[in-house]
Amino acid sequence: MEENPTWIPVVALALRDASARVLLQQRLPHKHHGGLWEFPGGKVESAENPRFALVREIAEELGIRIETTKLSPLFLADEAGVEAGPAGVVLLLYTCREWRGAIAGRDGQQWGWFTLDEAAGLPLAPMDGDLLSRLKILDAVAGQ
C-alpha cells in the first residue's frame, strides 16, 4: 500500500464578487487547522462527482446555491511542499462568479470578502495559501 497510497479528494471554491474579491472563511477552533482561513468546501464523498460535492458543501457551509455549469476548474494543491496534514489530501480549487441566495456562515464560522493582497495577509491553511499564491499569479496574467 505504501507504494500505492490512497488519497482524500477535497474540493474548494474561489468565489469572486464584482470587485474580484474572494470569499474566505475561518476554520472552527476545534478542527484541524482551527482558526486558519480557507476557501470554503470540503471532502468529496465516496464516488461523488467533485462539482456536485462542491455545490453540496457550499450550500451546507454558506447557504447559497451555485451551479455545476458555472464552475471553472483552476488548480490543485497537495501536501508536497506545504506543511504536512493528514496523509493524502488533494485540494481541487474551482472558481465561480455567480450564486443565488444570501451568504451566511451556517456552521457559525467567520467569513468575509478579501482582495487577494488582503487574503495573503491572513493566517491561511497551508494548501489554501499555496492555491492563493497561484490565484494571484493568474489574476496578474489576466490583468485583473
Ligand X SMILES: Nc1nc2c([nH]c(=O)n2[C@H]2C[C@H](O)[C@@H](COP(=O)(O)OP(=O)(O)OP(=O)(O)O)O2)c(=O)[nH]1
Applying CB under 6 A, the site for ligand X has a residue count of 16
Assess 112 for contact with ligand X (CB under 6 A): no
| The residue type at 61 | E
Least distance (Å) from ligand X to the CB of residue 65?
A: 19
Q: Which of residues 24-43 bind ligand X (CB under 6 A)?
A: 31-33, 38, 42-43
CB-based contacts of 31, cutoff 8 Å, min separation 6: none
Q: How far is the CB of 39 from ligand X (least distance, A)?
A: 7
- Does 91 bind ligand X (CB under 6 A)? Our answer is yes
- In the bound state with ligand X, the residue whose beta carbon lies nearer, of 23 and 91, is 91
Under rule CB under 6 A, residue 89 binds ligand X: yes
Place of cell 474579491: 21
From 23, 71, 127, 132, residue interacting with ligand X (rule: CB under 6 A): 127
First to last CA, the chain: 44
**DSSP per-residue letters across 53-114:** HHHHHHHHHH--B--GGG-EEEEEE-STTS---STTEEEEEEEES--BS----TTS--EEEE
Residues of this chain that bind ligand X (CB under 6 A): 10, 12, 31-33, 38, 42-43, 85-86, 89, 91, 125-128
